[in-house]
Amino acid sequence: MKKTLVLGASTNPTRASHQAVHRLLNNGHEPVLVGIKEGDVAGIDIQHGQPELADIDTVTLYMNPKRQVDQYEYILGLEPKRIIFNPGTENPTLMRLAREKGIEVEIACTLVMLATDQY
């Protein structure tokens, strides 16, 4: 089981971040949600801002690179083992900063990783 921060979580069922929450749960992982809008996904509240979190194994990003800039310190400060850059979230600066801190970087799709047992 991997405690996973879904950064950019959405209540919209057509969004990949929403689908990822359900797939993470179905695969026995513990999703933690942070997003802009209030609501919940699968009964898990979406938190706002930069909540204090502990023991995050993976951060899976669902926010564009411009929105990530204000999150660099927060994401790196969580000291995750890895960060997954889903399609459209690729960010060379954050990737470099993460690697410098010994954080694994994956340019991949969380949905595909879960579907193919590569998570």
Q: Which residues contact 75 (CB under 8 A, 6 or more apart)?
A: 7, 59, 68, 83, 94, 98
Task: Give the rounded distance of the alpha carbon of 110 from its chain centre.
Answer: 9
**Is residue 48 a contact partner of residue 118, using CB atoms and an 8 Å limit?**
no
pLDDT (tens digit, 9 = 90+) per residue, 75-113?
999 999 999 999 999 999 999 999 999 999 999 999 999
* CATH classification at residue 88: 3.40.50.720
Amino acid 112: pLDDT: 97
**Is residue 74 a contact partner of residue 98, using CB atoms and an 8 Å limit?**
no
Amino acid 85: pLDDT: 98
Amino acid 81: pLDDT: 98
pLDDT (tens digit, 9 = 90+) per residue, 22-55?
999 999 999 999 999 999 999 999 999 999 999 9
Domain that holds residue 89: 3-49+56-115
Tell me what the mean pLDDT of segment 56-64 comes to: 98
pLDDT (tens digit, 9 = 90+) per residue, 61-70?
999 999 999 9
What is the number of structural domains in the chain? 1
